[in-house]
Amino acid sequence: MAFNYELDYKNLDLRKQPELYRVGKGEQGVLLVEPYKSEILPHWRFKTPEIAQESCDKIYEMFEEYRRQDDFVGMDMARKYIQMGYTRARRYTNYKGGRKYNEDGSIKERQIDPVKEEAAAIFKKKWDEIRQDEDYLRRKKQHQKEYG
């Protein structure tokens, strides 16, 4: 999401003002865009494959509900949380504790955690599905055309 730092994002309701939302790259804005952050974040978990599956299913259910409500911003935010489920689980797959760097700034050696790897795969599968969803892609293109 491209941010205008003069706006007060904590008090901004992008459901009421979707024209202010910019798709942006990757996970940008995922922890700032309300009311979606408050709706989706409580369901975002990836500690085990079982927890990741439950989380991914719930967030995808929300994605579909936002679609039914013709709420592209909600759809895109749900997509971002699913994407972030993948990227964060991958970080924990590769680095115990999720920290990539040592205190001296050097990169830690990877230690593959198969449990986190399975959790990441759950989110990755759903993220790939969304990225190929014709309706989502059409709505994304339309939103970008209308609002930038």
How does pLDDT run across 51-62, given as a tens digit for each residue? 999 999 999 999
Q: Which residues of the chain have pLDDT under 50?
A: 1, 3, 5-6
For residue 66, the model assigns a pLDDT of 98
For residue 39, the model assigns a pLDDT of 97
For residue 3, the model assigns a pLDDT of 46
Give burial (CB, 10 Å; 0-12/13-18/19+) of 102. exposed
Q: Helix crossing, 114-131 with 49-68: angle to 10°?
A: 20
Domain regions of the chain by residue span: 28-99+109-147
